[in-house]
Structure 1
Amino acid sequence: MASSKNEKGKKVIIVGGGLVGALNACFLAKRGFQVEVYERRPDIRTQEVVKGRSINLALSCRGREALRAVGLEEKITGEGIPMFARMIHNLDGSKKSIPYGKRDQSIMSVDRRHLNELLLSAAEKYDNVTLHFNHKITRCDFEKPQATFLREDEGTTVEVPGDLIMGCDGAYSSVRQQLMKTTRFDFSQEYIPHGYLELSIPANKQNEYAMELNYLHIWPRNTFMMIALPNPDKTFVGTLFMPFKIFDSIKTNDDLMKFFKDKFPDSIPLMGEEALKESYFRVKALPLVSIKCSPYHVSDKAVLMGDAAHAMVPFYGQGMNCGFEDCLVFDGIMTKYKNDFSKVLPEYTDTRNIDAKAMCDLAMYNYIEMRESVNSKMFLLRKHVDNMLNWLMPNTWVPLYTTVSFTRIRYHQCISNRQWQDKVLKNTLWGSVYAAIIGGAFALRRTGVTMETIADVGKDLINNIFLKA
């Protein structure tokens, strides 16, 4: 496939051939750059088993727009499964659904490996893209710039000069580690006390889906939870999220079955006891980390994107979408400054950093919502209020989840909008409380209940609505 613009002679070195690296290769190839992608792993398209994270992904608006920009949206969404709502599995076996947005709004369940394979193949179709596998980066010289790789299958070293080094090599990014050694760099990481373990729900005896199809299934249990997303092959990928201390306390098959019978009884016949035991003890639970850093660039020579810049816990389904949007934002700034890296990279950091940090915070917040708040009547009340006001004022009142998943409103502005909504609702409710207090003042005196007590009750009620929404 030929490139559409002429940047012949300029080379971009992309470190990491995962989702964001492969998509960036497509964007840059369209601009005419010579693109070389270096990936530490073997080519996943040739492997039967691929090590690493395999939690199913939830593709939403931001990711879809990025894919659309390189002509891949229809291909990828055509192989995904839309999920229109959460399906909540209660402890007693009953279920309830909570829509994500309006009837036609859905997020898309997509398989991580398959998506990565499609993106690599799409990048490879450009005649100005070269993919290199089994190459481990060992050093970055940001002044030249130049990257040094160890070719692990041969034990040889190769030095690769270029015009830009793009670090798309994940949460434990080697490019970021190199960058931290050479510049003033702010960095923070936080491991939450919860890990995750993948489980599987096969097709039923009729070779059909064992649960309702177009839902993200959630078993919320306050301090931990399990989720399941559908696959095209009639299976569900389940993921158990809970504190490591609980994982560590389950040592035997009996421990495991007692735990699941107590906490997820309806899931046992879906997975099968023997399959559950085999899956649970086959591998250890993996950690979850949130990473923030700044700046994302070094002069006009290097830039970080995706998890290398802003790893987040997976509870808002925005990790991939945020990374894909990185590519789209970067591409827009490239157009603005006509591919001038000296102007593009600083503006990219200034523009993207505040949004990525906001999304990391939202991802942490949503874990509380998914495992706990969805059981709260106050949470459901707030959802109904938001939906009603959105129906009445669609351009003024847009719920937080809708702005994050179904629009491209900047992440930090999504939070600001929510804070404004909270303030409006609190002021409105306080007005109602005060009116009720004044109207019933004489009756209250007769019962012996003070106005201060009623005000405190009203305050607790209002705060509950917002704290648990």
Structure 2
Amino acid sequence: MTARRDEIAIIGAGLAGCLAACFLARRGYPVALYERRPDPRSGAAERGRSINLALSERGLDALRRIGLAEQVLADALPMRGRMIHPVEGQPQFQSYSAAGDRAINSISRGALNNALLDAAAALPGVRIVFDHRLVGLDPADGTLSFDTPQGTVGAKASVVLGADGAGSAVRGQLLAYGLLRESVDLLDYGYKELTIPPLGGDFALDEGALHIWPRGTSMMIALPNPDRSFTCTLFWPNEGVGSFAALDNPAAIRAHFAEQYPDVVPLAPNLLDDYQHNPVGVLGTVRSTPWQVNGSVGLLGDAAHAIVPFYGQGANCAFEDVVELDRCLDECADDWSAALPLFQRRRQENAEAIAQMALTNFVEMRDKVASPVFQTRRRVEHALERALPGRYVSQYELVSFSTTPYAQVRRRVRRQHRVLGAVAGGAALLLVGAITAGLSRGRRR
């Protein structure tokens, strides 16, 4: 442990902010963790905003480093594959791993956030301040201004970290000073949550799978909860046929679900109420650069690089950010002016790689998973993984079940596909040669 320094301010007591507070407190820093909301441990969750998380190896690696993985997994449910629900016919299970033994873990965002808040609050040197909305930041000297129920209050910090999500107030302040550039690419899709309650005291669907209803231009997914319910999320277009805008009355909603999700209707008694009262969320990719200013103000997680949720990597990627920042502080002997630029150099390419993979996976989940061609390709991939252990590894396994940097994953998968393409091409040439030779012999006879 190093000696205590001037206070570090972390803006945002969500997943990344709480984890960062834990890591920095273990390094001996006094930490002030500011959150614009009330303490979520003492109030009701915001309706329709939970979005269950798929916690996988990158996130678990970070939690192990602070001794929290086992506790978190006790409240999680392992999902070993996708359960694909067609409009007609029986659901089909698709394993995530070749051996069928690896799983991603369904956990409530709120439950995980509360566990991290408790862990941060238990560490010496951490103070958590709720109902403080950042409205001012001077990046030159770390002066902060907050709106609170008691009025505007000020604070000061030696280092300010923005971990306040895709709509980051810290990023907004730096943007106002002209100190960074950002791009926000919104999908013309939104999301809305529904609930499938327990059925007869048990799960209404297989609790060991992530359920997907792929419908070409839209989809629904469902993740299991410890109380035996499922949190469902609709990912639909905002406008047009079959969109959120189009389904604006009870008759249209009932008719659409009966046509597109007939197996869900009898399992979701509150479907109409959920649909009419839960909000439509926004989906998009946020890019910004630089992620730090003056070596004393930095961004991490969604505040720096928000991604769409279709690879289940948003929280996992943010947790990996915290691990990498801790590693950079080690290598730079806690010199923030060196560590923050190093952190950006190490992580920016990886953040862009997973942003691209997440967008691609949206198309796969809503459109391709029900395709016989896709299913055959997955079977071939699993066969190759069994035949060439450690030499051929699918993209999904590398992303979800390893800590291989995302950019390296993309490069490796491209190499694998090139080799497979060459092998397949060679095999095709041999086959053509054999057929040609056979026909030639036939003509000679």
Q: TM-score if structure 2 supplies the norm length? A: 0.95
2:59–2:320 Cα contact (<8 Å) kept: yes
- Residue type of the partner of 1:82? P
| Aligned residue in 1 for 2:176 | 181
Aligned-pair Cα RMSD in Å? 1.5
Name the SS of the counterpart of 1:266 in structure 2: coil
| Aligned residue in 1 for 2:66 | 70
> Aligned to 2:340, which of 338, 345, 348?
345
1:12–1:34 Cα contact (<8 Å) kept: yes
Moved more, 432-441 or 257-266: 432-441
* Deviation string, structure 1 residues 223-272 (Cα, Å, up to 9, x no partner): 11111000000100011111012111112211111111111101111112
- Residue type of the partner of 1:348? F
Structure-to-structure mapping, 1:1-40, within 5 angstroms:
5-40=1-36
The alignment-based identity, stated in percent, is 38
| Aligned residue in 2 for 1:172 | 167
- Structure 2: state its 5+ residue gaps: 441-445
| Aligned residue in 2 for 1:459 | none
> Aligned to 2:231, which of 229, 237, 243?
237
Q: Which runs of 4+ in 1 moved over 4 A?
A: 441-445
Shift of 1:53: 2.8
Shift of 1:55: 0.5
2:179–2:293 Cα contact (<8 Å) kept: no
* Deviation string, structure 1 residues 85-121 (Cα, Å, up to 9, x no partner): 1111111141111111133210110011111111111
CA distance in 2: counterparts of 1:220 and 1:368, whole angstroms:
10
| Aligned residue in 2 for 1:91 | 87
1:137 equivalent in alignment to 2:134: yes
- Residue type of the partner of 1:414? V
Name the SS of the counterpart of 1:22 in structure 2: helix
| Aligned residue in 1 for 2:359 | 364
1:188–1:292 Cα contact (<8 Å) kept: yes
* Deviation string, structure 1 residues 52-91 (Cα, Å, up to 9, x no partner): 7311001000000101111110000111111111111111
Shift of 1:299: 2.2
Number of positions where the alignment pairs a residue of Structure 1 with one of Structure 2: 436
> Aligned to 2:315, which of 301, 320, 330?
320
CA distance in 1: counterparts of 2:289 and 2:387, whole angstroms:
40
CA distance in 1: counterparts of 2:189 and 2:94, whole angstroms:
25
1:147–1:165 Cα contact (<8 Å) kept: no
2:48–2:192 Cα contact (<8 Å) kept: no
Q: TM-score if structure 1 supplies the norm length? A: 0.90
CA distance in 1: counterparts of 2:49 and 2:202, whole angstroms:
26
CA distance in 1: counterparts of 2:292 and 2:28, whole angstroms:
22
Name the SS of the counterpart of 1:165 in structure 2: strand
CA distance in 2: counterparts of 1:320 and 1:113, whole angstroms:
12
- Residue type of the partner of 2:14? G
- Residue type of the partner of 2:73? T
CA distance in 2: counterparts of 1:49 and 1:174, whole angstroms:
22
2:49–2:193 Cα contact (<8 Å) kept: no
| Aligned residue in 1 for 2:443 | none
| Aligned residue in 1 for 2:283 | 288
Structure-to-structure mapping, 1:342-421, within 5 angstroms:
342-421=337-416
2:36–2:131 Cα contact (<8 Å) kept: yes
Shift of 1:349: 0.4
2:48–2:193 Cα contact (<8 Å) kept: no
CA distance in 2: counterparts of 1:286 and 1:161, whole angstroms:
34
- Cα distance change on mapping 1:231 and 1:52 into 2, 3 Å: closer
